[in-house]
Amino acid sequence: MMDIHKRGYAQPDMLVSTQWVEDHLNDADVRFIESDEDTLLYFSGHIPHAVNVDWVADLNDPVRRDYIEKEGFEELMSRLGMTKDTLAIFYGDQNNWWACYAFWVFQLFGHSKAKIMDGGRLKWEKEGRPMSKDQTDFPRSAYTANNRDDGKIRVFREQVLQHVQQKKSLIDVRSPEEFSGERLHMANYPNEGALRGGHIPGAKNVPWSRAIDTDTGEFKPADELQKIYMHYLNIQPQDEIITYCRIGERSSHTWFVLTYLLGFENVRNYDGSWTEYGNLVNVPIER
């Protein structure tokens, strides 16, 4: 595919190429972060000097269904030897779906020095670039985090219901079968607790993976993304958008596309998503 800076993105610098990563493997002020759906994949081999961020163990509160608080994020970042000046480069399996999820959580704490490696782990492997099984340890730092900001890019169920009443745009990024209510979960995955199938009223279905070139694993150029989102959904960059999926992981990928590649100004991710909404009593559901 063409160079990242020639694809027409609103913020092309939010992506780096696999070549850029290989050229900067030894940069002390860069931290390569692998975040995968398969939490054991990192240990089978990873980009040299990359660290592992486990989306369950590292980003989620061990008791409540919520993310870690400020103190937990500070501990994570200090363990990874990072400061606020450290550039975080995220990549992972499943075409960076989980990398975008980790990136999104980092933004809740204001770590804005962050980018995504276009093409993810698959592209890196296909190109035969170096892999390592060595454990990566960095000297511990003393990271001071911002308080977690749940207001700008995150949305909760009460706000979703208000959004529905106001007939504003919702994008359901799950599979068509989940959207229609035929399935309660992704194909070949276990049901993770939703008691009802269907979608939030007024939502339109654009599966998250449509933003990816299936041959390369890279994000599609801006003109193709505009056709997928802006033309089909009839939405504009100034519109208020809520994305959702099952637990907010696939929808964080679409949030990244809309926010950084297409320049949307007000996109929020509903991480409660269908696992929460499909269990709520007395809420409207469409099929």
Q: Which residues are annotated as catalytic?
A: 245
Sequence letter at residue 176: P
Q: Which two tokens stand for residue 57?
A: 């163990």
- Phi/psi at 245 (5° precision): -145, -110
Q: Which two tokens stand for residue 70?
A: 């400020």
Q: How far apart are CA 263 and CA 238, in angstroms?
A: 9
Q: How many CB atoms lie within 10 A of CB 192?
A: 13
Tell me, what DSSP letter sits at residue 40?
Answer: T
Query: Which conformational region is residue 282 in: left (phi greater than 0), alpha (psi within -120 to 50 degrees), or beta?
Result: left
Sequence letter at residue 255: W
Beta bridge partners of 242: 170, 268
